[in-house]
Amino acid sequence: MPMTASQTHTATIELSGPAPVEVPVGAIFVVKVAVMCAEGCNLHTCALKITAPTGAGETQAPAETADADGILEITLQAPPHVGDHVWRVSLRQDQAAGVRHDAEPLSINVSVKPQTSSLAVWDIPSPVVMGDAFDVKAGAKSAGDVELTGRAIEVCDEAGAVIAQASLGDTPWPGTSGLYWAQFRLSAPDREGPCAWSVRFAASDVAIPHEGATANFTVAVTRRAEHRLTVKVREKDTCNPIEGADIRVGVYRATTDPAGIAAVDIPKGTYELVVWKVGYDVPIQSTEVHADRVVEVEAMVAPEEDSDAIWQM
């Protein structure tokens, strides 16, 4: 019996694979859809109408992007509003092969969340002297690369109180994509020891909704230096100076020069003196500093590991 234009077949529109449960505001995402006829008609050329949560509709032709199995990839964009949103996919009432196809619209439910943001803190001096001023840099970045120029960023003390505030600059930090930054002038507390502070970006005034972010950082606070400790590092067997050895005296750091010498200005007290360089063994020693003094350290060449030893066991 020949088909007529009045014939109607039942069609279905289904997801081919899961849709994302959550997406950030403004994000672009892709869903895969399959359109099928109960009578076996080829519906690859039928047009689909995509209705956005705002009510705006757009028609897409599956034939342009459908794969060999008739799976169509549909590109959607989340609205700039947080909440649960629904996209509807429906089959246009065109005819295919002289037959009208009816299909229930497919609803795609997605929860739209704020964009995330992240923080970085750098150029933190260590140590700093009690009561002295010092500078640090901090920056915020949007996961969606939203411009953050002029947005507020804060430094908080250990109790969470705001101790400094600045506005993010006009241009990102060199070599980064979208890390907008500011410099803070801070004052070290009048007590010795580690100082744990935080940087906070509330993101409350960003045009597109964003989650805020917090980053912690620590500053070592010390008494004012009273004496100079000079460390001379020599190779034990040859007495040759060792350049590039790392010196650690408490929280103080230095590196030896070509003459094997490094100096640190420190308060009086008793410290562990640690000397380290690849290829050398140097015992840790306790050092008392009550005046300017010079300490000579002998470094022993460390024996090379025998790479074949494992095969000789």
List, for residues 4-32, the tens digit of each pLDDT value.
556 888 888 899 889 999 999 999 999 99
Mean pLDDT of the 139-144 span: 95
Superfamily of domain 8-113: Macroglobulin (MG2) domain (2.60.40.1930)
Q: What is the predicted pLDDT for the residue at 311?
A: 43
> Whose CA is closest to 96, among 14, 13, 3, 32?
3
CATH topology of domain 117-222: Immunoglobulin-like (2.60.40)
Predicted confidence (pLDDT) at residue 3 exceeds the cutoff of 50? no
Predicted confidence (pLDDT) at residue 2 exceeds the cutoff of 90? no
Mean pLDDT of the 53-59 span: 77
Predicted confidence (pLDDT) at residue 124 exceeds the cutoff of 70? yes
Predicted confidence (pLDDT) at residue 273 exceeds the cutoff of 80? yes
Which residue is it, tokens 């494992």? 310
0.85 exceeded by pTM: no
Quote the CA–CA distance of 56 and 79 in Å, as a whole number. 12
Q: Which residues of 161-172 are buried (b: 16+ CB within 10 A; e: fewer)?
A: eeebebebeeeb
Domain residue limits, the chain:
8-113, 117-222, 227-301
Q: What is the DSSP string of 257-288?
A: -TTSEEEEEE-SEEEEEEEE-TTEE---EEEE
- Contact (Cβ atoms closer than 8 angstroms) between residue 241 and residue 255: no
Tens of pLDDT, residue by residue over 203-228, are 988 889 999 999 999 999 999 999 99
pLDDT bucket at 68, cuts 50 / 70 / 90: low
Please give the share of the chain, as a percent, with pLDDT higher than 90: 67
pLDDT bucket at 291, cuts 50 / 70 / 90: very high
Return the CATH class of domain 227-301.
mainly beta
Q: What is the predicted pLDDT for the residue at 58?
A: 75
- Contact (Cβ atoms closer than 8 angstroms) between residue 206 and residue 151: yes
Predicted confidence (pLDDT) at residue 120 exceeds the cutoff of 70? yes
Average pLDDT, the chain: 88
Question: Who has greater pLDDT, 91 or 252?
Answer: 252
